[in-house]
Structures are given as C-alpha cells and as structure tokens.
C-alpha cells in the first residue's frame, strides 16, 4: 500500500512537470481540493486549427477487352459495364495561415479529388480548392475562405529531440476529432519506401486511418509535424507512427503556393556515407559528412569545382550527417537557386557555391535497343528518383498495354538490373549487354521481388 502511494506521488509530480513545461494551466481544484495536471487549456487553443477533410473523385476502371466485344456481350447477355467509379476519402488537415485560408495536408488525402470539403471544429463546412501537391514528399496545400479561422504556430522541427512529448490531433476512422499523446521515438527516419523524400519524425502517439494530414504538436501547441503514416502488419496502430517535419513541409508549401508545384533541381554528385574506415582513410578526426564518390560531367557540381573525394559537411549552414541529408536538402531547393556547401578537401575546410540545375532525364524507346522491347520506354535512374542510389539498373518508365514488351511481362516501374546475365546500371550499359539478333534474358526488380524474364 505504501509503495502504491509513493508511485502515485511520483506520477503526479511527473505529470505536473509535464504540464508546467507545456505552459498548460491547471484547473482550480478537483472535488478534494487538489490541483490536477492537464493539457486541456493548450488543446482548446490548438484543436480548432485541425480540420477534417472529405474528398470525392472518380477513377477509371480498367476494362477487360472482351467486355467491349458486342458479340461476346450479347452471347453471354452481359450488362453494360461502368467505366468509372466514385471514390471518397477522409483525412485531416492543419490551418497554417488563417488570413489566407491555407491548410496543410497529405497528398494522398486529396489525390485525384474533384471535390474537397473541409469541416471545422465548430461544425462549419467549407469548400476547398487545391493550391498544389507534391507526391514525392506527400505534402499538399488546399485553400478555403479565410473566415474566422484559427491557425497553428509553427515550431522549428530541427530542434526536436528524442524523448520530447508530442500530441497527435486528427480524425481517425471518421469518428470525429481526437487527441492522442506520446513521445518522439526517433528522428530522421528514412529508407522506409513510404515517400520519395523521407526524413520522418517517429512517434508512439497513436496515428490511425483518418489521422493522415493532421497535426503533431508539442506541449506549447506548436506544429512540429504533419502526421502521415504508420508501420503496422495488421492495419491498426502498434506505436510506430511517422510525421513529416514541419520544416520540410513548410519549404514544400512555399513552392506549392508560389509555383503550384515543386521545381526540383540536382547538384550532380553521387555520395556515400562516411564510415569510420573512410574517415580514417581520409585522415578526418570526426566522422561527420558524406564523401563525393562521383561528379557528373557538365553538372552544377562540376561547374562549381566540386571533386571526387571531397567531403560535404554542411549545406546552407546545416550540418550533413548522411547521404539522405544531402538528397533531402538538395531536393527541396528550386532550380536556379544558389547553394553554399562546406567541404573538406585534403583536411582543410573550404566553402563552394553552386547553382542548382535542372535534372536531365535520359530516356529511350525500347525497340531501338531490341525488337522484343517494343512498347517500353526505358530510362536512367535520376537523382530525384526514390530509387536513386538504392538500386542500380535501368527503370521501365512506361509500357504500352498489349505491346511486345507488355506480353513478355515488363511493367511500368520495373528496374532492369541485368541483361543476358551482365549487370546494367545505365542505358549505356544496357545497350552494350543487348544482342539485337538473339533472345533477351532480363533480371528485373519489381518492388521487393526479383524475377527473370525471357524475351524471345
């Protein structure tokens, strides 16, 4: 009994500290005259800025060619098949600019939507228009009439630490607005295959279907992230949720508002993480930064004077820890913008300034390589591709249904990693590996599955 009282006291003291840290006022008293810790005052200010988003759209149904054959339909007395179906989705959003009516949400919440309706905490329903969206970061901006809106102040997500308390606000399962609490479990989560650009905040605050696009806030009621996804084998929450850091989302939002899309540029380097062994080889006392393993000829990097073996330790004043930092930072810088890189060369620091250039996509019609590839469009994996530096190969950009390549089993998004048992990492290498007169054995990566296709 004594132990239980001690634990209760510790818990009460802990919660009191949390409430104090969050600047959440305490109620006057409970029935016994004791103060109770609560986050309610903070949430009363924050929750009106989180909205429910309902969308409605149409998607075309893929038809079986037999259903278009009048004889087949008449013989089997088949009714006319619908060519489209109505889609509906529910999600959440966050008002970030009350004066202009801008709301941040996820791209997958409003993807293919023809109608977007926003429901505010006070029950008002407003029609929204799409300002712009970016599938690579899963960020979208919509706009409503700026009438009596409440906005959330933005925090600096770069200052988040593992262990910080956070609250997720959203509309899970369409039940209505709910609040869940937890901590920041990890930072800089990447390589999950969820989005093209990943730098997620991981949290154990419950994020469920319908929470997507909602707010992750700190105990001051400041927006630190946009709730995006969960890791689950059952579809339910198991304490592993992911949010887009607000600093990244805000940079994307600025481009979407100004240009309607994100105009990504490239630096033109291939980089790898700096391991302890490489740090020793380069005579670097601290293991920080990334090593430039290749500089693309004619790229912005080459023009700026970057060299193979340079170690990038900072970009625009922000420390670089790994190759994902480089990709995320450069990927959010608009074409034509200037970037300042701090690099180590021969053990000495130097600052190099470059102008971000537009990515050049190398694509080729498959039949120009081999007649059995007729109908396929092949391309090199560019810096802005989520596959960049993860897979070496040639990507299948498109395949015409019914074409020779289609009948052989090639599909859009496949990555050809070898041809006739020769590894290929580019269109140039694929061209050398292909014999136009013989059959073609391709090793293909499709998602997490690898398979061989014999074209003959």
Q: Which residues are catalytic?
A: 108, 138, 212
The answer to whether the beta carbons of residues 352 and 304 sit under 8 Å apart is yes
Gap between the Cα atoms of 413 and 404, Å rounded = 17
Distance of CA 327 to CAs 47, 272, 333, 359, 361, Å? 34, 11, 10, 13, 17
The answer to whether the beta carbons of residues 105 and 226 sit under 8 Å apart is yes
Gap between the Cα atoms of 234 and 395, Å rounded = 32
Gap between the Cα atoms of 235 and 228, Å rounded = 14
The answer to whether the beta carbons of residues 254 and 96 sit under 8 Å apart is no
Distance of CA 252 to the CA centre of its chain: 11
The answer for residues whose C-beta is within 8 angstroms of residue 69's C-beta and 6 or more apart is none
Phi, psi of 406 (to 5 degrees): -65, -45
DSSP string for residues in 141-167: EEE---SS---PPB--GGG--TT-EEE
The answer for residues whose C-beta is within 8 angstroms of residue 11's C-beta and 6 or more apart is none
Gap between the Cα atoms of 233 and 17, Å rounded = 36
The answer for residues whose C-beta is within 8 angstroms of residue 410's C-beta and 6 or more apart is 373, 376, 396, 399, 442, 444, 453
3-state secondary structure 129-146: EEEEEECCCCEEEEECCC
Residue from 71, 74, 11 nearest 37 by CA? 11
Distance of CA 440 to the CA centre of its chain: 36
Residue from 410, 411, 434, 413 nearest 422 by CA? 434
């Amino acid at each position: 009994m004594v132990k239980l009282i001690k634990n209760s006291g510790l818990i009460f003291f802990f919660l009191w500290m949390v409430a104090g840290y969050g600047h959440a006022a305490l109620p006057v008293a409970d029935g016994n005259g004791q103060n109770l810790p609560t986050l309610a005052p903070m949430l009363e200010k924050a929750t009106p800025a989180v909205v429910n988003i309902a969308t409605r759209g149409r998607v075309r149904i893929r038809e079986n060619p037999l259903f278009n054959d009048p004889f087949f339909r008449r013989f089997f007395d088949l009714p006319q098949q619908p060519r489209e179906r109505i889609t509906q989705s529910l999600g959440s959003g966050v008002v970030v600019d009350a004066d202009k009516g801008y709301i941040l949400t996820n791209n997958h919440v409003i993807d293919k939507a023809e109608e977007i309706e926003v429901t505010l905490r006070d029950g008002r329903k407003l029609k929204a228009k799409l300002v712009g969206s970016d599938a690579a970061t899963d960020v979208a901006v919509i706009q409503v009439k700026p009438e009596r809106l409440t906005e959330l102040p933005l925090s600096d997500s770069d200052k988040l630490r593992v262990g910080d308390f956070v609250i997720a606000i959203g509309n899970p399962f369409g039940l209505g607005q709910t609040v869940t609490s937890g901590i920041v479990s990890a930072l800089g989560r990447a390589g999950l295959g969820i989005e093209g650009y990943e730098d997620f905040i991981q949290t154990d605050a419950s994020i469920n279907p319908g929470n997507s696009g909602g707010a992750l806030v700190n105990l001051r009621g400041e927006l630190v992230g946009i709730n995006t996804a969960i890791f689950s084998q059952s579809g339910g929450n198991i304490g592993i949720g992911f949010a887009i850091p607000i600093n990244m989302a805000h940079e994307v939002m600025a481009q979407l508002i100004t240009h309607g899309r994100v105009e990504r540029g490239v630096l033109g380097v291939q980089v790898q993480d700096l391991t302890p062994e490489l740090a020793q080889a380069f005579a670097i006392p601290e293991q920080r930064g990334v090593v430039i393993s290749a500089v693309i000829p004619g790229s912005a990097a080459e023009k700026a004077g970057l060299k193979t073996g340079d170690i990038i330790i900072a970009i625009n004043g922000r420390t670089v820890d790994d190759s994902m930092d480089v990709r995320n930072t450069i990927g959010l810088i608009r074409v034509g913008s200037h970037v300042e890189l701090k690099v180590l060369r021969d053990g000495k620091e130097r600052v190099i300034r470059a102008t971000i250039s537009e990515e050049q996509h190398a694509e080729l019609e498959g039949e120009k390589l081999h007649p059995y590839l007729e109908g396929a469009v092949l391309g090199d994996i560019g810096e802005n591709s989520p596959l960049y530096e993860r897979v070496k190969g040639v990507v299948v950009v498109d395949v015409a249904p019914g074409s020779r390549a289609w009948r052989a089993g090639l599909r859009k998004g496949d990555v050809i990693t070898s041809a006739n048992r020769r590894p290929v990492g580019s269109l140039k290498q694929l061209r050398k590996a292909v014999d136009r007169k013989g059959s073609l054995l391709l090793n293909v990566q499709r998602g997490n599955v690898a398979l061989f296709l014999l074209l003959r």
